[in-house]
Chains A and B, each alone.
Chain A
Amino acid sequence: NAGVTQTPKFRILKIGQSMTLQCAQDMNHNYMYWYRQDPGMGLKLIYYSVGAGITDKGEVPNGYNVSRSTTEDFPLRLELAAPSQTSVYFCASKRDISGGYTFGSGTRLTVV
């Protein structure tokens, strides 16, 4: 098992550009999450999904969008990138209601 795979690992965007952060898991987990981590801060939930075809907003969804067409993939879309979106983004998954997350290795995004 590869676990949770995120790509790219690093990216620099210009203000106003768009990009998609990829996340894939091969553990057949139902629940998937996108978090952002800012320096000295905890993880903040952007979007989550409880299964294929179902997504919903977390605490800080503005400026982002997601889709979940398959169990395995949960891409995060940034439209019109802003400097405030400079952060490290983590994708996580878990199988069911109980239990902890398996995290990806993160994507470090800088918007200039």
Chain B
Amino acid sequence: GESVGLHLPTLSVQEGDNSIINCAYSNSASDYFIWYKQESGKGPQFIIDIRSNMDKRQGQRVTVLLNKTVKHLSLQIAATQPGDSAVYFCAEGPVGATNKLIFGTGTLLAVQP
């Protein structure tokens, strides 16, 4: 069935280090991949996206890498800051008639000062 999973449920990093959050997806027909950040008590917030015809996309301090051969997605955060502490979700889609996204269960990123 469809699934999007994360390799690491929690990730603890030191402030200033780079963080890498990984995600595996199963639907090879997915055309669009997104990373969301969810802070405690808030809704998911868009970070960065990438389409299936791309391998890499960079934003401000964040980079998303897509490896379609092994169905793997990663989010790299440079110079991680305490404000980056949150749960990060990957999502793939659109799926079916709903045009919905399928979400992973999330990775908790804990930044140590």
Contacts and interface: CB of A to CB of B under 8 A. Distances in A.
- Same complex for A and B? Answer yes
Interface of A: 4, 31, 33, 40-43, 45, 48, 50, 56, 58, 90, 94, 97-106
Interface in B43-80: 43-46, 49
Contact of B43 (A45, A94, A98, A105): A105
Contacts of A101: 44, 46, 101
Given A97-B94, A103-B45, A50 B99 contact: yes
A43 B99 contact: no
A50 B96 CA distance: 12
B100 A45 contact: yes
Contact of A100 (B43, B49, B97, B106): B49
A95 to B, nearest CB: 11
B21 interface: no
Contacts of B31: 98
A42 B94 contact: no
21 contacts: A4-B43, A33-B98, A40-B105, A42-B4, A42-B89, A42-B104, A42-B106, A43-B89, A43-B103, A45-B98, A45-B100, A50-B99, A56-B97, A97-B99, A100-B32, A100-B34, A100-B36, A103-B44, A103-B45, A105-B42, A106-B41
B95 to A, nearest CB: 10
Nearest to A40: B105
The 10 A-B residue pairs with the shortest CB-CB distance, nearest first, are A103-B43, A100-B34, A42-B105, A42-B103, A43-B103, A105-B43, A103-B44, A106-B43, A48-B98, A97-B99
